[in-house]
Each structure stands twice: as C-alpha cells, then as structure tokens.
Amino acid sequence: MTPKYMVAALVQQWWSFAGKDDRPNTSQMAILPKVYAFWGDGWSVGYTGQIQVDWKARHGDRWTVPAGLALGKVVKFGILPVQIRVGGDYIPISPQFGPKWNLQLQITPLLPRLIKKPIFD
C-alpha cells in the first residue's frame, strides 16, 4: 500500500470435515483481489470482484469470475471519516444458473491507521 495505490488479496478455502455423514461435502474457494488507485480529495477507483470456485460442482459450473470497477469517496459524518463506494460487475464466467451482473454499495467507517508508513514505496 502506498499513498497512491493499494494492491492486496484475501484467499479463503473451505472444506467440510465433520458433521453428519449424509450431508454433502464442501470444497469452495473465494479470492478477493483488491486493486485501487487513490487521488485527491478522497476519491478512489478500483477492481471490485470476488472470484469464487466450487470444486465439487460440475466442470462447467465451478467458477464465478466477475470484471468490474468501483468508484469511492471519503467523506466525514461528524468527526468520523467514512468511505462510500459504488461499484458494478459484469460476470462473464459463471455457473449455468449464476448471476450475470452485480451492483454494490459499500459504506465503511475508517479507523486511525495502525501502520504509519507505506509498506512499499
């Protein structure tokens, strides 16, 4: 993360390992890439999609891969800074009965920074 850019990812994998034997097994992954550019007055633009994989689904129905953008602005509510972000995704790769579009509204309160310097310059 730098003052002008942020690049990050959160990857999660879920497996079922306990419970009733008659319940279906689970093996799913979610990949949440975060790529944002920041510019003056609290504005930002970035990628919004969450890639999902259901490893137990039929081969053609495993992946959900969106492509989209979000526009955000940091504003203040009293003394609390809040980021408001609006985004949309087109989903070109999805299961047979999966979604084709996704719209998002995100409101995030911003807390003081724990890491004072950019990690990468």
- 41/19 Cα distance (integer angstroms): 51
Determine the pLDDT at residue 121: 63
- Contact between residue 70 and residue 48 where contact means Cβ atoms under 8 Å apart: yes
Determine the pLDDT at residue 71: 97
Assess if residue 64 is contained within a domain. Answer: yes
Assess if residue 117 is contained within a domain. Answer: no
Residue partners of 16: CB distance under 8 A and separation at least 6? 23, 24, 25, 26, 27
Going by C-alpha positions, the residue among 82, 75, 85, 2 that lies closest to residue 37 is: 2
Assess if residue 115 is contained within a domain. Answer: no
Query: Tokens 């919004």 appear where?
Result: 48
Residue partners of 30: CB distance under 8 A and separation at least 6? 10, 11, 12, 50, 51, 52, 53
Assess if residue 118 is contained within a domain. Answer: no
| Residue ranges making up the domain that contains 98 | 5-18+26-109
Residue 15 pLDDT grade (very low, low, confident, very high; cuts 50, 70, 90): very high
Assess if residue 86 is contained within a domain. Answer: yes
Determine the pLDDT at residue 66: 96
Question: Does the pLDDT at position 119 exceed 90?
Answer: no
Assess if residue 121 is contained within a domain. Answer: no
Out of 21-25, 27-31, 53-57, 91-95, pick the least confident.
21-25
Assess if residue 98 is contained within a domain. Answer: yes
Compute CA distances 52 → 32, 43, 64, 68, whole Å. Answer: 9, 28, 5, 15
Assess if residue 114 is contained within a domain. Answer: no
Query: Tokens 């504003």 appear where?
Result: 75
- Contact between residue 14 and residue 26 where contact means Cβ atoms under 8 Å apart: yes
Tally of structural domains, the chain = 1
Query: Tokens 């969106």 appear where?
Result: 66
